[in-house]
Amino acid sequence: MEPNIKNIAVLTSGGDAPGMNAAIRAVVRTGIYHGINMFGVMQGYQGLITDNIKPMDARSVSNILHLGGTILKTARCLEFKTDEGQQIAYNNLKKNDIDGLVVIGGDGTFTGAKRFSETFGVKVIGIPGTIDNDLVGSDFTLGYDTAINTVIEAIDKIRDTADAHDRLFFIEVMGRDSGCIALRSSIASGAEAVLLPERETSVTELINKLALGAATKKSSSIVIVAEGHKQGGAYDIAKKVKETFDHYDTKVTILGHLQRGGSPSSFDRILGSRLGFAAVNALIAGETEQMVGLKGNEIKLTSIREALTAHSFKLEPDLMEMTEVLSI
């Protein structure tokens, strides 16, 4: 079937996530396979405004599957939120005869894409690329699996020194509004407690749990704190616990942007490839303002509007219960 799209551009925006390069590669090569001219936009929406748009061929995306970050770079662009900025971006798309756009990023990226498409009629497909795993419409977002593996590897190393010194470690992980990383990494690393934005846990409850572990001769304890917990970050909570519970020598580790980097896992390489392939096929089929996502191991389309307005991702109840049962 002759594609109704002749020129497609791809960009990455917002925070980077492992697997973005796999998605870029799949977008570019799928488009070329169908006879479409492919372009890469450097530095996200900023590149649309500055006309930093480059032609890409199949060799432009060689040997990038294993790389973290994004070869297209990324930036947060306040100017794109304005009417004037979006008009400039649209003019640059028209100048380059681009009639389809694939955007890879999180909710901020999708919010900009939705408004851009609604205002100017640009055909847009989104790929969920965020380690937070907080977009409705995909069981897993790009980079989430790699981030969890990175966190687990760090916690395993911290556990060694915690055991050696009878220490209590508070480990802060990313998750301002979502406890997905904290929840899964706590189970996989055998943490004694996890503090999530989605669940109220008082300092008193935490101290009681730690005291029970100490009474049953636990030699060390690991507490994972999602950065968006209502009681504060790891330093704040560690200070409050230390004031009334001094059984352990208390330490704090904030993993920070360590979680964003590194070579993507095989899962994220495959997911990025599947989503990139599906995004181009969706544009060819005439779809727009849709997000491609993984649902039950099948690639499904969800409207970008729904992915944004239904921002109520629920943590798995069985995993929530397991954090209590398996940490005794």
Q: Is 76 marked as binding a ligand?
A: yes
Q: Is 233 marked as binding a ligand?
A: no
* Nearest CA among 41, 112, 31, 96 for reference residue 74: 41
Contacts of 246 (CB under 8 A, 6+ apart): none
Q: Is 184 marked as binding a ligand?
A: no
Q: Is 199 marked as binding a ligand?
A: no
The C-alpha atoms of residue 26 and residue 298 are separated, in whole angstroms, by: 17
Q: Is 220 marked as binding a ligand?
A: yes
Active site residue 132: yes
Q: Is 2 marked as binding a ligand?
A: no
| Residue of 51, 83, 99, 132 with catalytic role | 132
Q: Is 82 marked as binding a ligand?
A: no
Q: Which residues pair with 299 in a beta bridge?
A: 294
Q: Is 103 marked as binding a ligand?
A: no
Angle at 36 between CA 21 and CA 103, to 5 degrees: 40
Q: Is 190 marked as binding a ligand?
A: yes
Q: Is 322 marked as binding a ligand?
A: no
Q: Is 315 marked as binding a ligand?
A: no
Q: Is 260 marked as binding a ligand?
A: yes
Question: DSSP H helical segments within the chain, as ranges?
Answer: 20-33, 44-50, 83-95, 107-120, 144-165, 180-189, 203-215, 234-244, 266-284, 304-309, 317-325
Q: Is 234 marked as binding a ligand?
A: no
Dihedral over alpha carbons 40, 131, 142, 74 (to 10 degrees): 0
Q: Is 219 marked as binding a ligand?
A: yes
Q: Is 108 marked as binding a ligand?
A: yes
Q: Is 29 marked as binding a ligand?
A: yes
Q: CA distances (Å), 59 to each of 34, 35, 56, 173, 257, in order?
A: 16, 15, 8, 37, 30
* Residue tagged 């055998």 (tokens): 190
Q: Is 178 marked as binding a ligand?
A: no
* Nearest CA among 290, 303, 328 for reference residue 210: 328
* Residue tagged 């409705």 (tokens): 136
* Nearest CA among 131, 124, 94 for reference residue 110: 124
Q: Is 191 marked as binding a ligand?
A: yes
* Residue tagged 């008193």 (tokens): 204
The C-alpha atoms of residue 169 and residue 191 are separated, in whole angstroms, by: 10
Contact criterion met (CB below 8 Å) for 84 and 91: no
Q: How many residues does the chain have?
A: 328
Contact criterion met (CB below 8 Å) for 177 and 132: yes
Q: Is 46 marked as binding a ligand?
A: no
Q: Could you tell me which residues are annotated as the binding site for ATP?
A: 15, 76-77, 106-109
Catalytic residues: 132
Question: Per the annotation, where are the binding residues?
Answer: 15, 25-29, 76-77, 106-109, 130-132, 159, 167, 174-176, 190-192, 218-220, 227, 251, 257-260
Residues placed in the known binding site for substrate: 130-132, 167, 174-176, 227, 251, 257-260
Binding residues for Mg(2+): 107
